[in-house]
Amino acid sequence: MRLQKDETAYNSKVKRFNMEKWIPYLFITPTILLIVGFLFYPLGTVFYYSLQNYDLTAPYYNGFIGLENFKNIFTEDKLFLSTLGVTFKWVVSQVGLQLTFGMVAALLLNQAFKYRGLVRAFAFTPWAISGVLASVMWSLMFNEHMGVINDILMKLGVISESKAWLADTTTVFGSVIIAELWRGIPFFAITLLASLQSIPNELYEAARVDGAGRLKSFIFITLPQLKNTIVLTVLLRTVWEFNNIDLIYNLTGGGPAHQTTTLTMYIAEQAIHGSNFGYGSALTVISFVILLVFAVVFLKITRYEREV
């Protein structure tokens, strides 16, 4: 009788242990379902349609075509390489300039001065403005007839007559760069400032005792302490700028003469405006592979995962 009771108690403990073991998985099940539903399923759908001829304007040709879309992209689509080049210039210039000016802004805002909190709030304001609102604001400033940029430059004697900054092939890319730069600098400034405030002051005091100036302190103390933050922010900003479409689309629509048509805009043009979802999906897969390879190589080169 006692042996039976002991066996029953043991079985109940085993069942309770098994239930407790599965409780954590039960709690994370909704998150897993959301990730599968909103990430992996759409990603799998894009890969599926990239192997299909799925054009709403010619539905009678729809069907499985294998790698034909990718073959056409690399052999017949001349605009693909052009948009890839524009995307490369856009990402390199944006991330490089935003990091440089963001670092300068973070170093300045990290200093002690009067009304520092108010200045920080104004400095971070552009990051809170949506891309559509920022594009409307900059399109008005770049306007040939009533834009404030033309007015200021004419009063300073830099130009003699008003210019259509967003319609001229020689000035459109630089104009869009300036507009996005204004909105992107606060991102680096915020993240770098947060990391600067976590650096112990004892390191700078020891450097001053050893006779190191500001430049040496910046090179041998500040930069090494900010390395992980810089690597992560550069990676994130590269992905975001690679996929940026709102500001460029609202300012130029990809023109003039495809001077500002990035790969992401070309995908939207093919899939949404052209209704060629199969071809657009193939372009999206190529974009995904480019970003994936970049992320892996970038993290390997910077050795981010080892130091973390």
Q: What does the pLDDT read at residue 233?
A: 93
How many Å apart are CA 230 and CA 233, to the nearest integer?
Answer: 5
Higher pLDDT, 7 or 59: 59
pLDDT band at 13 (very low <50, low <70, confident <90, very high): low
pLDDT band at 18 (very low <50, low <70, confident <90, very high): low
How many Å apart are CA 208 and CA 221, to the nearest integer?
Answer: 12
Section 210-232 average pLDDT = 88
How many Å apart are CA 6 and CA 301, to the nearest integer?
Answer: 60
Beta bridge partners of 53: 63
Q: What does the pLDDT read at residue 188?
A: 94
Q: Which of 70-79, 167-176, 208-217 has the lowest mean pLDDT?
A: 208-217
Task: Say whether pLDDT at 10 is over 80.
Answer: no
Q: What does the pLDDT read at residue 7?
A: 54
Task: Say whether pLDDT at 225 is over 70.
Answer: yes
Q: What does the pLDDT read at residue 124?
A: 87
pLDDT band at 3 (very low <50, low <70, confident <90, very high): very low
* Structural domain 79-307, CATH architecture: Orthogonal Bundle (1.10)
pLDDT band at 120 (very low <50, low <70, confident <90, very high): confident
SS3 14: helix
Higher pLDDT, 272 or 135: 135
How many Å apart are CA 276 and CA 280, to the nearest integer?
Answer: 6
Task: Say whether pLDDT at 237 is over 90.
Answer: yes
pTM for the model: 0.85
Q: Residue 46 corresponds to which tokens in the numbers above?
A: 């894009």
pLDDT band at 83 (very low <50, low <70, confident <90, very high): very high
Section 242-263 average pLDDT = 89
Higher pLDDT, 14 or 210: 210
Q: Residue 175 corresponds to which tokens in the numbers above?
A: 């104009």
Task: Say whether pLDDT at 308 is over 70.
Answer: no
Q: What does the pLDDT read at residue 137?
A: 92
Q: What does the pLDDT read at residue 231?
A: 92
How many Å apart are CA 76 and CA 207, to the nearest integer?
Answer: 59
Is the bond into 256 cis (omega within 30 degrees of 0)?
Answer: yes
Section 124-131 average pLDDT = 85
Section 119-147 average pLDDT = 87
From residue 240, give the alpha-carbon distance in Å to each of 159, 225, 303. Answer: 34, 24, 22
Is the bond into 30 cis (omega within 30 degrees of 0)?
Answer: no
- Helices and strands counted in the chain (H then E): 15, 2
Task: Say whether pLDDT at 306 is over 60.
Answer: no
Higher pLDDT, 141 or 307: 141
Q: Nearest 5 degrees, angle CA 70-CA 71-CA 76? A: 110
Task: Say whether pLDDT at 19 is over 80.
Answer: no
